[in-house]
Amino acid sequence: MTKVSIGKAWEESSAFLGREARLVAPVALAMFAVPAALAAWINPTGQPAGDLSGLLIMLFVLATALIGQMAIAAMAIGWTGSVGGALGKAAGRAPALFGAALMVFLPLAIAAAILLVLLLGNAGLTDPASISAETMAQVPGLAPFMLVMMLVFLFVATRLMPMSAVAITETGNPLRIVGRCFALTKGNFFRLFVLLMLILVAAMVAGGAVTAVVGSLVVLAMGDVQPLNLPALLIALAEGIVGAMITAVAATMVARIYVQLNTGQAGVPDVDRAD
């Protein structure tokens, strides 16, 4: 069983990104920054949209993110073809990756929703109109339930961390992707959990900083943020670029972790510069 070294993965990721930035940056901008900025420009509040257009935008952002993560993972692992070829293969494997995630997280979400309804029903909150933050806070056992569910989702997310790398390099079968991830991460949960927490904290801190600094300056200079106006566009672009940087680094780290889990061999791959 190979023990993961986060430090080694970081060194390899830094070396790869430093040398191949000209290839990774366009992928990150096109697949992460632009779609996320477009979604935030249209819906700057970030509230879930209930109409069809909102759902389509969400699916578009998700699809491009999955493709981008797999393409960067392929390059970081040692893809010998062109960047366009990596994107093409990633696009072909995206449905399998999405299916694998859905196969695991959808049942968990349904179970959590059913248990939540039962908790609310036992507390007498059967009318949706009566549910608010104040009434939810008074539901017995709700806080422990939410904590347990969060830990369950984090546990599963940790065990499935190398999904993008497995999907792009090994198989397009969703069931095999899930099984392979659990096999690879066996015995390394706590190290991978630490890495996942570091990524999540970095994303939250960076996102909060952009919103606080750039958002405040833009609002002071140009006025309130509204859908499709200039302030919303500037803030969305700033958030999208920062988010793309973090996602690209995370995808590379996961790819190098996968190499350790799969072979235990380190090395910084070369990428064909044809594209």
- Taking phi over 0 as left and psi of -120 to 50 as alpha, with beta for the rest, 100 belongs to alpha
Residue 239 domain flag: yes
- Is the pLDDT higher at 97 or at 128? 97
Q: How confident is the model at residue 113 (pLDDT cuts 50, 70, 90)?
A: very high
Residue 275 domain flag: no
- Taking phi over 0 as left and psi of -120 to 50 as alpha, with beta for the rest, 201 belongs to alpha
CA distance 266 to 93: 25
Q: Mean pLDDT lowest for which of 28-37, 114-123, 128-137?
A: 128-137
Q: Residue 49 gets which letter from DSSP?
A: P
Residue 269 domain flag: no
Q: Residue 49: what pLDDT?
A: 63
Q: Residue 31: what pLDDT?
A: 97
Q: Give, in order, the Cα–Cα distances in Å from 14 to each of 9, 72, 93.
A: 8, 13, 26
pLDDT tops 80 at residue 270: no
Residue 161 domain flag: yes
pLDDT tops 90 at residue 61: yes
pLDDT tops 70 at residue 272: no
Q: Residue 268: what pLDDT?
A: 42
- Is the pLDDT higher at 50 or at 82? 82
Which residues, at least 6 apart from 240, have a Cβ–Cβ distance to it below 8 Å? 32, 33, 34, 35, 36, 37, 40
What mean pLDDT is predicted for residues 202-224?
92
Angle, in degrees to the nearest 10, between helices 174-185 and 83-122: 80
CA distance 93 to 172: 6
Averaged pLDDT of the chain: 90
What mean pLDDT is predicted for residues 243-268?
85
Residue 269's φ and ψ, nearest 5 degrees, are -75, 155
In 3D space, the residue among 82, 87, 81 whose CA is nearest the CA of residue 68 turns out to be 87
Token look-up 């929703």 returns: 113
Give the domain extent around 53.
6-262
Residue 109 domain flag: yes
Q: Residue 265: what pLDDT?
A: 40
Q: Residue 50: what pLDDT?
A: 64
- Is the pLDDT higher at 118 or at 2? 118
Residue 267 domain flag: no
Q: Residue 123: what pLDDT?
A: 79
Q: Mean pLDDT lowest for which of 32-36, 138-142, 178-182, 222-226?
A: 138-142
Percent share of the chain, pLDDT over 70: 94
Residue 1 domain flag: no
CA distance 113 to 57: 24
pLDDT tops 80 at residue 251: yes
Q: Mean pLDDT lowest for which of 26-30, 136-140, 168-172?
A: 136-140
pLDDT tops 80 at residue 1: no
Tens digits of per-residue pLDDT, 175-193?
999 999 999 999 999 999 9
- Number of other CB atoms surrounding residue 113 within 10 Å: 10
Q: Residue 45: what pLDDT?
A: 82
Q: How confident is the model at residue 73 (pLDDT cuts 50, 70, 90)?
A: very high
Q: Residue 267: what pLDDT?
A: 43
pLDDT tops 80 at residue 273: no
Q: How many domains does the chain have?
A: 1
Tens digits of per-residue pLDDT, 161-179?
999 999 999 999 999 999 9
In 3D space, the residue among 44, 132, 76 whose CA is nearest the CA of residue 250 turns out to be 76
